[in-house]
Structures are given as structure tokens and as C-alpha cells.
Structure 1
Amino acid sequence: MTAGIGIPICVQCGTRSNPCRCKVFGPTVGFLAFAAAAIVEWPLGAMVYCFKHMKGRRIMAHPATVVYPRVSNAFPI
């Protein structure tokens, strides 16, 4: 018995960006970009937080507030 590691599939329904009103590709790529950015920015933000609290919070929030929405909205499907 083996346990496979699959690619996360994200679905966003109720959108008006396409006739089907569902997006799969954009949110999935957005999640992968979010994860890649978070791996780099969260430890960096934690170190900066020790000295400058607001700057550290902005760095740690960047993947969720900037990276994911921009990448997800770049793909209409």
C-alpha cells in the first residue's frame, strides 16, 4: 500500500470571469505561488518582526494579500 502525494486542486465557484462560473486553474496556480512565496517570506518576516513589528507583519502577510490574489486572478479559468 502506498500513499501518493497529489497536487492540491483548488476550486472557486461563483466567479463571473468565465461562462462556467467556476475557476480551477487560477486558484490552484495561485496556491502553489502562495506556498512558494511563504516558504521564503515567513521566516524572513519573523526575523524582521523581532526589530520592526509592522514591517515584519507586512512581510509575512505578503503571500496572502498580494501573491495569491494576483496570480489567481491572472487566469480566467
Structure 2
Amino acid sequence: MSFPSCIQCGTRSNPCRCKVVGPTLGFVAFVVAAVVEWPIGAVVYIFRHMKGRRIMGHPARVVYPKVSRAIPI
């Protein structure tokens, strides 16, 4: 059984120009945030459409990029 990982090549944040740890942890953080925020966003969407969309988009717009950029390897 292999461990799934995300690889980002072409980055200038380290000498190897490839990142594995940052994108992989970013994806894990994205999944954890999505499990919590998507049901909440779906309920809010019923009453306030734009607010619900913002809540459901938060893991992709904020969580994944911040975690991925914070770890340079």
C-alpha cells in the first residue's frame, strides 16, 4: 500500500524546484476543513446564497494555499 502524495514542480521556493510535503499537507488540511465547512455551507446556502458559497469555497481558496505555501519542501 502506498501513501498518496501531491507533487508540485516548477516552484521557486526551494533549490530542487519541487514540493511534496507542503502540497500533501495542504491537501490533508483541505479535506479536514471541507468535511467541516461544506455541510455548514450547504445549510447556510438555503438562507443566504452568497454566504453559503463563500463558506463552501473557503477550503480551496484559503486553507490549501496557505498550508501549501507555509512549507517550502
TM-score range, shorter chain: over 0.9
Q: Which of 65, 69, 72 is matched with 1:73 structurally?
A: 69
Structure 1 runs of 4+ with >4 Å offset: none
Q: What runs of 5+ residues in structure 2 fail to find an aligned partner?
A: none
The amino acid that maps onto 1:63 is P
Q: 1:32 aligns with which of 13, 28, 31?
A: 28
Instruction: Return the alpha-carbon distance in structure 1 between the equivalents of residues 10 and 49 of structure 2.
Output: 37
Describe the superposition over 1:27-73 as per-residue Cα deviations: whole angstroms up to 9, x where unpaired: 00000000000000000000000000000000000000000000000
The alignment's TM-score, normalised by the length of structure 1, stands at: 0.91
C-alpha deviation, 1:7, in angstroms: 3.5
- Structure 1, unmatched stretches of 5+, are none
Decide which structure has the larger Cα Rg and report it: 1
TM-score after normalising by structure 2 = 0.96
Q: 1:33-72 residue pairs with structure 2 within 5 A?
A: 33-72=29-68
**Larger helix fraction of residues:** 2
- One-letter amino acid matched to 1:13: C
Percent identical? 73
